[in-house]
Amino acid sequence: MLKNVSQTISDIGVMSQRDIRRYFRLPQLLITNIILNVVLLLLFNYVFGGAIQTGGVAYIQYFLPGFLVQSVVFGSTQTSVGISEDLSKGLIDRFRSLPMARSAFLSGRVVADTLRYLILVALMIAVGYAAGFRFQGGFFPAFAGVWLIILFGIALTWVGVFIGISVKDAETAQVAGFVWVFPLVFASSLYVPIETMPSWLQAFANINPVTPMVDTIRALSWGTSISSSLWKILVWDLGIILVCLPLALRRYRLLAQ
């Protein structure tokens, strides 16, 4: 039993090492993604910063917490692409013929993606600090905020895993990823206050998990009260994982049909 657990952990480690190497060796996956995020962050801050009214708060203060969330949300689309590539290139058959833990192929990817989100979020915070952003609530709320973003990323990664294993083709996975990610990011409190949207869109934005996620990070970084948004996002995280993880595992098992 103990041997099984340690073997499973070792298998997940081996698989995540492989995915991490991939992220560092294919510049389009991590490096260009980082550059794109930095450029977007600076552009948004200096181009729209003066135009968008955010109720007296400096735009970078308003916008960076959302940007951190956005980098993770967009990042989760890479998960589907990686998984579907392994499927379409037949690598999956090799892995499935090995005596490795069955969960390792999928969870190794999630572990690697968690590390990727950490790198991405840490870098965005550093760039944000250079542009004037400050965690006004102190260290612990900031620390908690970063991990809440990572947890949200992990939940979305399982969505990405499910999509990747369902479409089995990298190009489709890329498109399928963006289809659900764009509405989530833009129809939320991430870029603009929800009150400025038409009422039907407000209804969507209010139930969109990105909204409580961003609101929580804002509160934590501003040092204000976090109200109900913390619970909302934790319920969302849990709900997404509880739905998508079994669906993804089921799809994985169905490969044998």
Partner 1 sequence: MSVTAQSDPENTCPNAFIEVAGVAKTFGKVRALAGVNLEVEPGIVFALLGPNGSGKTTLVKVLTTLLRPDTGTARVGGFDVIGQASEVRNIIGLAGQYPAVDENLTGRENLEMIGRLYHLGRGRARDRAVELLDSFDLSDVANRRAKTYSGGLRRRLDLAAALVANPPILFLDEPTTGLDPRSRLNLWEIIKDQAKQCNSVFLTTQYLEEADRLADHIAIIDNGAIIQQGTSQELKDCCGGETHVKMRLADRTQMQKALDALREIAPENMYQNPEMGEISFPAPDGTAVLSTVVRSLDAVGVELAELSLKEPTLDDVFLAITGHVAEEVPETDTSMKSGSG
Residues that bind partner 1 (CB under 8 A): 7, 10-11, 14-15, 17-18, 21-22, 25-26, 28, 81, 84-85, 88-91, 93-100, 104, 169-171, 174, 255-257
Considering beta carbons, is residue 72 or 101 the nearer one to partner 1?
A: 101
Indicate the residue among 171 and 182 with the shorter CB distance to partner 1: 171
In angstroms, rounded to a whole number, what is the distance separating the alpha carbons of residues 18 and 59?
Answer: 39
Amino acid residing at 36: L
For 55, residues 6+ apart whose C-beta sits below 8 A from its C-beta are: 193
Helix (H), strand (E) counts: the chain? 10, 0
Q: How far is the CB of 101 from partner 1 (least distance, A)?
A: 9
Q: Which is nearer to partner 1, 88 or 206 (CB)?
A: 88
Q: Is 223 helix (H, G, I), strand (E, B) or coil?
A: coil
Smallest gap from residue 10 Cβ to partner 1 (A): 7
120 contact partners, CB below 8 Å, separation of at least 6? 33, 34, 37, 71, 72, 75
* CA 214 – CA 46 distance, rounded (Å): 21
**What is the DSSP-derived secondary structure letter of residue 194?**
G
Q: Tell me the C-alpha to C-alpha distance, in Å, between residue 104 and each of 89, 220, 231.
A: 18, 34, 30
> Which CB sits closer to partner 1, 17 or 202?
17
CA-CA distances (angstroms) from residue 157 to 54, 90, 114, 185? 31, 22, 9, 15
Q: Is 54 exposed, middle or buried, given 0-12, 13-18 or 19+ CB atoms closer than 10 A? A: middle
Closest to partner 1 by CB, 94 vs 193, is 94
For partner 1, which is the closer residue by CB, 22 or 134?
22
Residue 206: CB minimum distance to partner 1, A: 35
The residue written with tokens 């298998």 in the block is: 11
CB of 198 to partner 1, least distance (A): 36
Min separation Cβ 235 and partner 1, Å: 35
CB of 32 to partner 1, least distance (A): 10
- Residue 80 Cβ, how far from partner 1 at the closest point, in Å? 12
Sign (positive or negative) of CA dihedral 218, 68, 142, 229: positive
Given the complex with partner 1, which of 21 and 250 has the nearer CB atom? Answer: 21
